[in-house]
Amino acid sequence: MSMPRTLTAVGFGLAAVLALGGCAATAEAPDSGESAADDYYPVTVTDMAGNEVTIESADSVAITDNRFFQLAADWDLPVTVAPLDLFSPENPLKDSSEILNIGLHTEPDFEQIVAADPDLVVNGYRFSSEENAQGVKDAAPDAAFLDMTGPEDQSADEFVVESITLMGEVFNRKAEAEALVDDFHTALDEAKDAYDPEKTVMGLVTSGGEINYSNPTDGRGASIFFDLVGMTPALDAEGTTDHTGDNVSLEALAQANADYLLVLDRDAAVSEEGQTVVPALELITGSAALASVPAVQNEAITVMPADYYLTEDVFAYTAVLNGLTELFESA
């Protein structure tokens, strides 16, 4: 089952409250020549790479890290340029005519950043390669540059807390950031409490109509939840970080006898309009080779949000954790 993004409405609600508060302040002080943003900047922060960055203003923002696209929408950030091709279809900024499109990280159009002339860049994830990061910097040489790539050994929990807290500091949204972190930790605690470590879990990725394995150490999708929740792997075979998962025979997957399946449906996120794809749940439950697996027999399967492959953000993490809690409690 695909879990909804439960926090988006909260983000919009908070943004609306702040917007109303801002209107009230303007009404009370019509002669004020400075906005709240003008009062807040300049601000100096330490980015995820440990660099001290002074932000003079954030009137025009370039954002390339997909883990903050939904945050940008919820907080109504002044985004002027971004790789819109990487945005979730559920993101209201996806089809914005006011945001210049960098395209995909594989062939980015850095000239769009030059045209936008941002005063702040939030860079990371698919744009964190040396070539892409340098291309972004060269396109906006005068902009404050935030590197959102944390240390390699940083846990998902640490990343969520530090990155969301940082974004709250950067955009003067500290209360909203704290609320997101609290919601994430609540979902995490509930998943841990609901999970029985005697039960085993297997991560899967469906891609190109195939069912592939996601290893519990660094496999795409499921692995971070093994670490976060402390789940017991049904199969602890070595694998890769490949975005389509690893090709392990269905017979080998079946023999692991997983009690639960945690599935990333990559096809749901990257299929083109008009393309026919088989949903992950249908692929798995329709597989004769997996029919004897306890998770399949007991319908103990949770599928990550359809856009998880594109977002992989605090909202997606929280949704998956809520889905795991529901799965564990219903078993």
* Per-residue confidence (pLDDT) for residue 82, from 0 to 100: 98
Q: What is the mean pLDDT of residues 38-66?
A: 96
For 200-220, the pLDDT digits (tens) are: 999 999 998 999 999 999 999
Identify the pLDDT of residue 60. Answer: 98
234 contact partners, CB below 8 Å, separation of at least 6: 200, 201, 202, 256, 257, 258, 259
Contact 259, 295 (CB under 8 A): yes
**Distance separating alpha carbons of residues 47 and 55, to the nearest angstrom:** 11
Residue 9 has pLDDT above 50, yes or no: no
Across 164-182, average pLDDT: 98
Residue 274: both structure tokens together: 């008009």
Percent of the chain with pLDDT over 70: 88
Rounded to the nearest 5°, which phi and psi values hold at 43?
-135, 140
pLDDT tens digits, 228-254:
999 999 999 888 778 778 889 999 999
In this predicted structure, what is the pLDDT of residue 242?
A: 81
| Structural domains in the chain plus CATH codes | 33-172 (3.40.50.1980), 195-330 (3.40.50.1980)
pLDDT of 37 above 90: no
Short-list 285, 317, 318, CA closest to 300: 285
- How high does pLDDT run on average in the chain? 89
Say which residue, 20 or 242, is predicted with more confidence: 242
How far is C-alpha 94 from the chain's CA centre?
15
Q: Give the pTM.
A: 0.87
Dump pLDDT digits (tens) for 124-142.
999 999 999 999 999 999 9
pLDDT at 7 over 70: no
* 151-166 per-position pLDDT tens digit: 988 999 999 999 999 9
More reliable by pLDDT, 292 or 240 = 292
Please report which residue ranges of the chain form alpha helices under DSSP H. Answer: 8-28, 36-40, 69-74, 111-116, 130-139, 156-170, 174-194, 223-229, 250-255, 266-270, 280-285, 294-297, 308-311, 314-330
Q: Inform me whether the pLDDT recorded for 322 exceeds 50.
A: yes
Nearest CA to 212 out of 270, 137, 267, 152 is that of 267
More confident residue, 272 or 312: 312
Whether residue 262 has pLDDT greater than 80: yes
Q: Are the C-beta atoms of 148 and 47 separated by less than 8 Å? A: yes
Phi, psi of 262 (to 5 degrees): -115, 115
pLDDT band at 22 (very low <50, low <70, confident <90, very high): very low
**Which pLDDT does position 14 carry in this prediction?**
35
Contact 157, 225 (CB under 8 A): no
Q: Which residue, among 70, 133, 143, 131, has the nearest Cα to 308 in the 3D structure?
A: 70
pLDDT of residue 330 exceeding 50, the answer is yes
User: Is residue 94 exposed (0-12), middle (13-18) or buried (19+ Cβ within 10 Å)?
Assistant: middle
Flag whether pLDDT at 115 surpasses 50.
yes
* Higher pLDDT pick, 27 / 122: 122
pLDDT(274) > 80? no
Whole-angstrom CA distances from 12 to 31, 74, 76, 211, 250 are: 29, 5, 9, 36, 43
Look at residue 38 in the predicted model and tell me its pLDDT. Answer: 65
* Integer CA distances (angstroms), 285 to 210, 280, 311, 326, in order: 13, 9, 26, 19
Residues 263-298 as b/e (b if ≥16 CB within 10 A, e otherwise) read bbbbbbbbeeeeeebebbbebbeeeeebeebbbbee
